[in-house]
Every structure is written in structure tokens, then in C-alpha cells.
Structure 1
Amino acid sequence: MNEGTSAPVPAGAVSLWASGNFRRYFAARSASLLGDTVLPIGLSAAVLEQGFGASGVGYALAASLAPTILLMLFGGALADHFRPKPMMVFADLVRFLAQGVLCVLLLVGEPSLWAILVTQVVFGVATALFQPTISGLVPEIAPDDVHKANGLLRIAESMVTLGGPALAGILLAFAPATAVVGIDAATCLISAILVATLRLAGKRGDQGPPKVFDDIREGWSEFVSRPWLYSVISAFAVMGLVVFGPFQVLSATVLTEDHGASAYGLLMSAHGLGAVIGGLVGLRRMPRRPLRTGALAMLAFAPQLAFIALGAPVPLVAVGMLVAGIGRSYWAVMWSTSVQTRVPPDVLNRVLAYEITGSMMLIPVGRAVAGPVSESLGSTPVLMTGAVCTVIGCLSLLLVPSVRRLALQRPDRVPGDPAEPVPASSPRTETTEGRSA
């Protein structure tokens, strides 16, 4: 089989549903994803309702993310040292309380921007304990079907992305933003309950107290030993600053101001529909060179930025967001499967913590500066810059040999040969323990 061909994914993804663990994990992750989807819309609307403008939206969104990024490495180290389940339940309960307090503040009065920011900082700190474990549990929940599990999870995420914004938009048409924030709080509680019911292997053997900084250094060594990994994360770090951060703020403010909150929610649903399609395509076939194909698919993220920047009609913006959802979802399946099948399970949480931290570390900066910069220069040049940088970033990845040639590989093999594929007849991995939920 030549390099350009694709190996069919074995049929029988439905067999994953025979596992109660996977069903509960799937439901927990779907609930958590619903909260993640509605939070930016509800939080943005709440901040705008209080009269804090685009800058306030940027600060609030950054406050919920910055602590997560700053503390992510500690969360990954702790998840590799201990079993992640109790940490995840605790984190979800704290996140539930943080968003619950914000709901109360919005209901009883007019909270200051600082009060809103404090609740989001607490939320972000708890997320730092939860986030590194989100995809790391996949090899433990579905050790023989990592790729199929990722495809199903991405489809679920996409369906939530499709329905969540629509739900938020409908609620905002008839109720204050507090209702949407309340949904986020409820999903955290539901996730905590479902995670608590997972039946996982017991606590790892007695390792004594964690040596967090030693574990973090070991995770760094594993991370930098894989050029394909740090090359992708470097590109996405820059894109977080100039693409993803500004997009989250300006898509909310520009589309809401131009077309209303309900239209914004429905347009985000078009992105969700595209993501469902992208997940289905990713589930159906696994290319022999997943990162190369995924990087090409990510180019589809650029047109929506240009359409919003140029004030295109709603139908054209919807098409752009649909196409963007397809590309980004397909990339996500390719990327998650590549990492989970090529990194040894005993360091997977730490490597994923570096992956998440690196790819997200500049998003809060992008969110925070998007409002002031757009108020100074206008939203059009900021969004157009994002569109151009998306194209440059994706094409630059194709110039990296280890990214271009990377094929699936069992994590028990010595890393270093990016072209060594898993046989086409068996794209399964031999992982035994995963890292997170």
C-alpha cells in the first residue's frame, strides 16, 4: 500500500457500547462538553448585559482559561502519579460551585467585573486538575479501539457543539444570560456524578509522595523527544494568539452586534454541524499519514474568519462555519489518535499536559487583547490576520518531515521513526492504562 492510501477503519464501533464504562465516560464527557460549549456564549452575554463591552468579554474569557494553562503541568503530573478519577470528581464539584456562585451574583444584583473574574479564575484552577485527564482515559476506557473511541467522542462533541449554541441562543432570546451559565454549572455536577461511577483500575502501586517537579521534567523530556509533537504545538501556540483567541471574542461580539445573540448561537450551530460531519469522516477512515491529512483539513478554518471580517451575509457565514467545523473536527480525530497511540501510557498525562498548555497558553492573551485591539484598529484587520495566519500555520506544518510522514505507531515501540505504520488490517494499539477522562 502506498503512502497516499487509507486503511479502512474496522467495522463495529458500536461494540464500544457494550462497555458500561465507555457509556458512562461518553455521557460524562458529553455533559462536560455541553458546558464548555455554552459557557463562552453565556459568559459573553452576561458580561455584555452588565455593560462591560468587548474588553470585558475578553477579560472574562481569559480569566477562565489563564489559570488552567498556568497550572496544567501540575495537573498532568498528579494524574500520572495518582489515579485521576478522584481528582476529576473534585475538580468538577469546584467548577459547579464557581458557576453556581456566578449565577447567584447575577440573580441578586449587578456584580462588578472583578466579581465575575474571580468566579472564572476559580473555575479555571479547577479545570487545570480536570483537563489533562479528559482524553488520557481513552486508552484505558477503550484500549483496543482508541481510534474508534476518538471518532465517536468527536462526533458527540460535534453534536453538542451543534445543539449547545442553539440551546444557548434560544434561551438568550427569552431569558437572561444567567440561565445559560446555570446550564454550565449543572453539566459540571452531572459530569462529577458520572465520573464517580466509572469502574477503573485501582490506585497505582505505592509510589510515595509525588515528586511533582521531577515528574514535570520527565514529561518535558518525553515531549521534546518527539519533533512532530512540539512542531504542531508550536504552530498552534501562535495560532492561539492570532487566530483562536481573537476568533472566540470577536465572533461573539461582531456577530451578536450585527445579527443578534440568537443568530450568533445558530451560526455556531453551523460550525457544530460541520464538526459532526468531520467526526464521521474521521471515524470512517484513518489515513496512513494522519497529521498530513489533518493539517490540510485545518485549512478550512480560514474562510469563516474572512467572511465575518468582511461582513458577509448570514448564509455565507454559515457556510464558512460549516466548512470550518468539518476541517477542525477531522484534525482533532487525527491528532488525538496520533498522540494516544504513540506516547507511552505511563507518561501520557504529562505529555498531554504539555500539549494542552503549549497549544492554549497564548489563547488567553489573544482573548484579552482582541477587544482593545479591535476597538483601536477595527475587527476587520484582526480577523483577516487570523485567516492569513491559519493558512500559513497549516502549510508550515507540512514542511516538517516528521509531521508530514508520521504514521500510527504502537506506544510500546521506541519513538523516532515517524514513518513506521500500524498494519492496515489492525490499527489498534496495545495500551493498557490511559491517562485521563
Structure 2
Amino acid sequence: MTEDLATGAGPRLWSANFRNYFAARTISLLGDIILPIGLIAAVLGEGYGASGVGYALAASLGPTIVLMLFGGALADHFRPKPLLVLADLVRLAAQGWLAVSLLTGSPSLPEILITQAVFGTATALFQPSISGIVPEVAPGRVHEANAALRITESCVTLGGPALAGVLLVVAGPPVVMVFVTATCLISCLLVWTLRLSGGAAAGRPRVLKDIREGWTAFASRPWLWAVICVFVVLGLTVFGPYHVLSATVLTEDRGASAYALLMSAHGAGAIAGGFLALKRMPSRPLLTGALWLALFIPQFLFIALKAPVALVAAAMFAAGVGRSYWAVMWSTSVQTQVPPEVLNRVLAYEITGSMMLVPVGRALSGPVAEAAGSAPVLLASAAVLTLGCLALVAIPAVRGLRPVSPSPAGTS
């Protein structure tokens, strides 16, 4: 049984408010996808080598993970819009500084690391808020909004690296950094136009108390913390190793061009999964989403066993479908089940939990694969993901969660 939310009550999805939000989130995502590609090229071009690349990427991601909870607490106290504008301005300043440094000279490695740490800190303010306002910019249409966002995210993820490659070939890393800076500016201007309700809470923020209240809201929902517990394990053992080992094995076995085409199949599947999730909300969204997520499993087997490329492509397409469908069900459930006054803090716990062991999984996957072989590690990932999907289906709070329609948010 499903609920047809496309014809449900509530204002139309593509209002001016949602269009501006949609454009801001899309252009911001494009900048986030292009940034690491340009950053790697810039660091290598300045002669800082692979170690410099690792330090630069860690400088950007580390503060985001560490400070995400503070970003969620501040967003719930001050309301998201001013924090989003501030975050984009800080990100603009950091990347603008690096772009100017690359255009006019040769920035030192510490200078690059500082700009990326500032960027990562601002991202910790940006991420909870940009997700938390979906119910407000798409009142009564949260499911449709998340499906549309997932489709576009898949398209940007598919096309962003190609755009970055063209910019690098035609103009070089400095112009890539100028482009990233421009995405921050455009996102900031679009966010400024959003009409959001409410103002800052009374009094000064009590960040630690607000974080504890966010934890209470998070921990009081068994379906929520149970899923995150599963994804902490999957981040370490499945999603962390996935990109490293799939890229390594497929490139070594099939060549770089074949790997690019296979990843395109994955991206096309993600777009298809977003469309499949668009019109109907299942009566048990997380149960249905977990069953679709199981489509992510076969690709590990086919890659490890060096199956014919057509089978690998089909499996990677299915993996994109399954992960995208799960993402829509999950985002919609969180944004509609959690009260608006604590949503940003809960989202901060959700993002932090989902991300925190992914870098560890990436770092460990290479040494473990060298010691045990890539195929056993990929097969182990498939086994763990199978157990993870079974766990999601078996947990009563997850299996039994029913959708709710969010109350239309007011605007001002």
C-alpha cells in the first residue's frame, strides 16, 4: 500500500521559494563536487605531492565532522537563513583567497590548509541548515522535494567531475577555484531571497545545552538512532572502502575509461532511483527503502569475481537505483518525523554519525586489501551490507515506521 503524495494536500512544489532553494542547493553541491578535484590538481601543481593532497583534503573534511553538532545547535537557535548566508560568505572568502593566491603566486601548503580548514568549518554550519529547511520551502511536499533533489544531486555528481576536468584542461586549477568561489556567491544570493518563518530564539545560545537537547531528541527515536548505528558500521566497512577499492580494481582490470563508463552507469541508476521514488511514498518508507538498498550488494560480488563488464555495469546501475531510493525515503522520514525546533540538531547527529567512520574506512581499505587481497575485502563488504539490510528490516521501530504529512510551514 502506498500514499500518492503527488496529489496530496498542500501548495504546489515548484513555488518561487522552492525554486530558489533548489537552485541554491544545486549550485552549492556543484561547487562541493568540483572543489576536491581542483584542490588536488592545485596541490600537486604546487609540488606538495600526495602527502600534501591528503593533508588538504583532511583539512577540509575534519572540521566539518568535528563541528557539525555545533552547527546544528546554532541553526536551531538563530534559525537557518542567517547561518546559511554567513556560511556561504565565509566559504566564499576562503576559496576566494586561495583562488587569488593561485592566480598571483604560489601559496604555501599551510596557507592552503588554513583556507580549507576555514571552508570546512563553514560547511559544518551550512550542512544541517540546508537540509533542515526542506519542510519549510516545500510544505506538504517534502517527499517530492527530496526526490527532485536526489535526481539533481545524481546529475550533478555525474556531470560535475567532467566539468572540473574541462576547466582544468582549458584553464588550470586557479580558474577552478574561481569557479568554486562563484558557486558560493550565487548560493549566498539565492539563500538571501528565501522566505522562511520565525526568528532567533530568545537569549544567548547555550550551545552545550542545545547539543544535549538535540541528543535527547535523537536518542528518543529508536528508528532514528538504530539506522545511524547500522550506518556507522556500513560507513567503516562498506561505503568507506567502496570508492577506493572499486576504483582500484576496476581501473586495474578494465582500464580508466571503462571505470569512468561504469561509474556513469551508477550515476544513471541514481537518477532512475530518484524518479522511481518521486511520485509515491510507501506506507512503510524505511522498510521499503532498506529492501531497495539491497540492490547495492551485487556489484561487490561482480567486481570481486571479475564478472563480464556488462554484468558489472548492470549491477552498478542497480546499486545507484537502490541507494538513491533509500536516500529519498530516509531524508523524507527524518524531515517529517522530527519537530522543526530540533530538526537541525538531529540532522547534525545524523550527518555526523553517517560520516564519521567513512574516512577511516577509506584510509584502512588500501592496507587491508594489500594484506588480504581486494576480492576478499569486497566480498566482506557485501556480506556486511547484507547483514545491515537484514538488520534494518528486522528492527521493529524501523520496519514499522509510517509516513506523516508535515504541517505547512508559514512564510514571511
TM class, shorter-chain normalised?
0.7 to 0.9
Shift of 1:61: 3.7
Shift of 1:387: 2.8
User: Who is 2:381 aligned against?
Assistant: 386
In structure 2, relative to structure 1, the CA distance for the partners of 1:16 and 1:281 (3 Å cut) is same
Shift of 1:139: 0.9
User: Who is 1:342 aligned against?
Assistant: 337
Q: Residues of 2 paired with 1:273 and 1:377: CA distance?
A: 32
The 5 A counterparts of 1:87-106 are 87-103=83-99
User: Who is 2:263 aligned against?
Assistant: 268
User: Who is 1:292 aligned against?
Assistant: 287
User: Who is 1:322 aligned against?
Assistant: 317
Q: Deviations over 1:85-128 (max 9, x none)?
A: 12111212222333344445666677676654443322211110
Letter of the 1:29 counterpart: R
Q: Residues of 1 paired with 2:176 and 2:303: CA distance?
A: 24
Structure 1 position 429 matched with structure 2 position 382:
no
Q: Contact between 2:196 and 2:410, CA under 8 Å: does it hold in 1?
A: no
Structure 1 position 360 matched with structure 2 position 355:
yes
Q: Deviations over 1:306-353 (max 9, x none)?
A: 444555666554433322211111111100111111111111111111
Q: Residues of 1 paired with 2:148 and 2:107: CA distance?
A: 40
Question: 1:127 pairs with 108, 123, 126, which one?
Answer: 123
Q: Residues of 1 paired with 2:187 and 2:315: CA distance?
A: 32
Q: Which moved more, 1:85-94 or 1:228-237?
A: 85-94
User: Who is 2:135 aligned against?
Assistant: 139
User: Who is 1:419 aligned against?
Assistant: none
Letter of the 1:155 counterpart: I
Q: Contact between 1:59 and 1:368, CA under 8 Å: does it hold in 2?
A: no
Q: Contact between 1:162 and 1:272, CA under 8 Å: does it hold in 2?
A: yes
In structure 2, relative to structure 1, the CA distance for the partners of 1:372 and 1:233 (3 Å cut) is same
Aligned residues: 409
Determine which structure has the larger helix proportion and give its number. Answer: 2
Structure 1 position 407 matched with structure 2 position 402:
yes
SS of corresponding position for 1:88: helix
Q: Deviations over 1:337-372 (max 9, x none)?
A: 111111111111111111111111112222333444
Q: Residues of 1 paired with 2:376 and 2:129: CA distance?
A: 37
Q: Residues of 2 paired with 1:259 and 1:116: CA distance?
A: 35
Structure 2 unaligned regions, length at least 5? none
Question: 1:8 pairs with 4, 14, 38, which one?
Answer: 4
Q: Contact between 1:163 and 1:269, CA under 8 Å: does it hold in 2?
A: no
In structure 2, relative to structure 1, the CA distance for the partners of 1:248 and 1:392 (3 Å cut) is same
Shift of 1:274: 1.3
SS of corresponding position for 1:281: helix
Q: If the length of structure 1 is used for normalisation, what is the TM-score?
A: 0.82
SS of corresponding position for 1:395: helix
Shift of 1:201: 2.4
Shift of 1:35: 2.1
Question: 1:152 pairs with 129, 134, 148, which one?
Answer: 148
Letter of the 2:151 counterpart: I
User: Who is 1:280 aligned against?
Assistant: 275
Letter of the 2:158 counterpart: L
Letter of the 2:22 counterpart: F
Q: Deviations over 1:374-431 (max 9, x none)?
A: 455554444443333222212211111111111113xxxxxxxxxxxxxxxxxx3215
Q: Residues of 2 paired with 1:212 and 1:189: CA distance?
A: 28
SS of corresponding position for 2:297: helix
Q: Residues of 1 paired with 2:302 and 2:53: CA distance?
A: 22
Q: Deviations over 1:145-189 (max 9, x none)?
A: 111111221222122123223333445566655555544333222
Q: If the length of structure 2 is used for normalisation, what is the TM-score?
A: 0.87
Q: Residues of 1 paired with 2:99 and 2:309: CA distance?
A: 32
Q: Residues of 2 paired with 1:309 and 1:56: CA distance?
A: 31
Q: Residues of 2 paired with 1:376 and 1:113: CA distance?
A: 32
Q: Which moved more, 1:28-37 or 1:372-381?
A: 372-381
Shift of 1:288: 0.6
Q: Residues of 2 paired with 1:384 and 1:345: CA distance?
A: 41
Q: Contact between 2:27 and 2:186, CA under 8 Å: does it hold in 1?
A: yes
Question: 1:166 pairs with 153, 162, 166, which one?
Answer: 162
Question: 2:237 pairs with 236, 242, 257, which one?
Answer: 242
Question: 1:397 pairs with 389, 392, 397, which one?
Answer: 392
